[in-house]
Structure 1
Amino acid sequence: MGTLMLNRASIAVMLLLTFLGRIDTVLAQTKDPKAKLAAQRGIDWLVSEQHRSGYWEANQGQYRVAMTALAGNAMLCEGSTTTRGRLAKPISRAVDYLIDTAQPNGLIGYKHDYHYTYGHGFSMLFLSQVYGEEENAQRREKLKEVLTKAVQFCGEAQTPDGGWGYVSAKDGNNFDEGSTCVTQVQGLRACRNAGIPVPREVIDKAVEYIRKCMAPDGGIQYSLRNAGGSRPPITAAAIACLFNSGDYENETAKKLLNYCQKNIEGTNNQAQMFGHWHYTHYYYSQVQYRLGDDKWSKYFSTISKQIMAQQSANGSWKEGHVGPVYVTAINSTILLLDNGYLPIYQR
């Protein structure tokens, strides 16, 4: 009897390993080796562009906090941490820079910065991913302090309608719009997932704000005050945030996904996306990856070819008005997304 049970167990293990092996084979087939090389070249270019103080910047020296968080996040997707991997030093320097920008009121960044809420939201996302893997006890405690205050600032910066603007509600006369709202929501979800306390009502109000911005066609408009029709970039970002929250099957998510399938998939029309093609696919790639291997395989095959075709000889990408650090960080993240190293992007 014992031998029979052992044989059955062995067969079960063999079947499981065979099944997992088939999954690995399917996943391997979705990944063009050239895509990994393109991402590595992009990351290497980012490393070469990091300033001694640990930051990156956009054109005209703008958006240092946001660019640092996005570039650092791309490096985490490669698999390194602040203490392990070939990118440990640049990641560590980026973390230290962002920690140093943290203000007593919780803002990660500076009030005089243009559109500082973007940097704050992206920094919450990046630093929360670092926090979960941080092995240095002193830095881990500092990260916890910075992220806890950052969450508090985010709640205080929220407008009465539940959104966020380019600056806090107080500084911006309660103006809010969809893209900054999404950035804050994803940052808050990442903090919560990392164990940082986040008031449920702050996220609930934000999700409700996104729902209120939905147009009859299922897309998300610029803001409640200034609708201006549905916008694919903000819609893609909105559904990515709902997926982060575990909302896959509700009616809002279904309408958003249906809109995106009609207005994003199969198009390379940057004008249709208000000049934010890379922003759109930064978020839409997260959506496609969460939808499963079949969806991801088809999507990645198309998007990776488009991205690789635009890469410069030095490894960077230069399209758009924000600057090469921005586009290179986003494209590298998309190409490395299915490595599955970052909890916020995992299925």
Structure 2
Amino acid sequence: MRLLLTLGLVFALAAPASAAPPRELMDEAIDRGLIHLRNQQGTDGSWPGGGFGMMGFGGAGDPAISSLAVMAFLSAGHVPGEGKHGAAVEKGIKYVMGQQQRDGLFAAGGGGNAEMYCHGICTLMLAEAAGMTDGKLADELRKRLEAAVTCVLAGQRNVNSPDNGGWRYHLKGFDADLSVTGWQLMALRGARNLGCDVPADRIKRAVDYIKRCQDPFSGGFRYTVSAPVTIPCTGTAILGMELCGKEYHRAPELLRAGKLILSSNLNPAQQHFFYGIYYTSQGMFQLGGNEWKAYRPKLHDLLLRQNGPRADGSWQSGGGHDDRQQGSSYCTAMAILALTVEYRYLPIYQRFEEPIEKDAIDP
């Protein structure tokens, strides 16, 4: 079941030097990127990766990166079993479902620091795919989603420390970080959209953890409560809180964080570039208002000009070791997911649309 949404998108006005590229250029880049992803898909329905699912380096199928690839197709309106990409999407979904363990956890291969990254990303994909299809596949997705959500809730930290309410690399433990927490919150929001039971007190504890990660001086957010501020984590925090309820929409601490993102200089040579562009695009889109209008041309400049798709349609790392390690399927999927946020096909890309009385920045 497609979510047929009225796009009605208005381009932000900016000086010629920073004006967003024409819509046709963005659409063409996304289409070419999806063709690249389809060509990279393995015969088992997977996409290669380098670590989120800990299935090895050098081309082995990765459940988490496969989930990101599936969501890239979904985010552009391609649903399983329909249209030119329908077969690839359905095959990818079935591959990921086949990686779920009996206890509901997605963490193929185990070990390392990827367990809950993999699980959160795969759980989010189940929720998004279930919201965009129907029939037997949707029923199976919902069944597996329920089991996956149980694992997410089991992994939330319940400790007498500043890490209470967050998540970390492994299902069991005592510490937490904002990066892993962001994926779990998106997964829970996606599941709640489908009617899964997500207790309100769990969301409140997660929000409190995010707030403890904010730096009082810069307004940015830290990777952990005692780590330095990073722009990717600042985007994660904005998105996480925005998804947790209307009461957090355009909260003062989030508007302040948005100003920091707008004043930052994300560039393709940085570590975690594609991770950062994924989270900052969604966070700023959820903020909306003039924050999104100011951010949108920067996003398009980064992904369509400074580090645009290659001749084969892929996006590649401009220098960050982590992006090179994960490979072109990861980079391409993350770029597409950042660009398609305004298409609003993915259920997680819906946002609040209440009138805004006062913007945090000048028009």
**Fold conserved (TM > 0.5)?**
yes
**SS state of the match for residue 24, structure 1?**
coil
Higher helix fraction: Structure 1 or Structure 2? Answer: 1
1:56 alignment partner, one of 39, 47, 51: 47
Q: Distance in 2 between matches of 1:327 and 1:193?
A: 27
Between the two proteins, what is the percent identity of the paired residues? 29
Contact 1:63 1:113 (8 Å CA) reproduced: no
Is the 2:242–2:249 Cα contact (8 Å) retained in structure 1? Answer: no
The runs of 5 or more residues in structure 2 that have no matched partner are: 1-5, 14-19, 51-56, 159-163, 318-322, 352-363
Partner of 2:265: 267
Provide TM-score, normalisation by structure 2: 0.80
1:159-197: CA deviations, max 9, x gaps? Answer: 22121111112xxx3232110011101111111012222
Note if 1:162 corresponds to 2:162: no
Determine the C-alpha separation between the residues in 1 that align with 2:296 and 2:95.
Answer: 33
Seen in structure 2, the aligned counterparts of structure 1 residues 131 and 255 have a Cα distance that, compared at 3 Å, is same
Equivalent positions of 1:43-122 (< 5 A) are: 43-59=34-50, 60=57, 61=59, 64-110=62-108, 112=110, 114=112, 115-122=114-121
Provide the aligned length of Structure 1 versus Structure 2: 317
Query: What does 1:87-236 correspond to in 2, within 5 Å?
Result: 87-110=85-108, 112=110, 114=112, 115-136=114-135, 138-160=136-158, 161-169=164-172, 173-217=173-217, 218-224=219-225, 227-236=226-235
In the TM superposition, what are the counterparts of 1:185-334 in structure 2 within 5 Å?
Answer: 185-217=185-217, 218-224=219-225, 227-247=226-246, 249=248, 253-265=251-263, 267-269=265-267, 275-292=271-288, 294-309=290-305, 310=307, 311-319=309-317, 320-321=323-324, 322-334=326-338
292-301 vs 305-314, which moves further: 292-301
Residue 345 in 1 paired to residue 349 in 2?
yes
Say which one has the larger Rg: 1
Distance 1:65 1:230, change over 3 A: same
Query: What is the RMSD computed on CA atoms of the aligned residues?
Result: 2.5
Distance 1:265 1:343, change over 3 A: farther
What is the CA-CA distance between 1:56 and the residue it aligns to? 1.0
Aligned CA distance change for structure 1 residues 54 and 63 (closer, same or farther; 3 Å): closer
Question: TM-score, normalized by length of structure 1?
Answer: 0.83
Taking a change above 3 Å as real, the CA distance of residues 295 and 166 of structure 1, as seen in their structure-2 partners, is same
